[in-house]
Amino acid sequence: MDERIPTESALSERLSVSRNPVREAVRVLAHVRLLQLRQGDDTYVRAQYDPGKTLRRIDRAALRDRIEVRLTLEVEAARLAAA
């Protein structure tokens, strides 16, 4: 069964970022089929995929989307390193 992820507001609070980067990161991850957005429901982690296939899909994503995902991940990495 797919695992539900926290809401955008919960993720933005946990990551100490605004909701916009979280929303964009979720959108990119849904585009490469790592997450599934269910209208009127929550967002779920999909079944695991071949990492090479996933990286190729991310590589085809728009540069702006990739940068936003990277910034979101880097903020969390920096927060964890500081802690």
CATH code of residue 78: 1.10.10
Number of H helices, E strands in the chain: 4, 3
Kindly give the parts of the chain with pLDDT less than 50.
Answer: none
pLDDT score for 6 = 92
Q: Which two tokens stand for residue 13?
A: 């609070």
DSSP per residue over 58-72, as a string?
HHHS-HHHHHHHHHH
Contact of 17 with 72, CB cutoff 8 Å: yes
One-letter amino acid identity for 49? Y
What pTM was computed for the model? 0.56
pLDDT score for 40 = 79
pLDDT score for 66 = 84
Give residue 66's domain range.
3-82
* Closest by Cα among 51, 54, 52, 7 to 28: 54
Q: How many domains are there within the chain?
A: 1
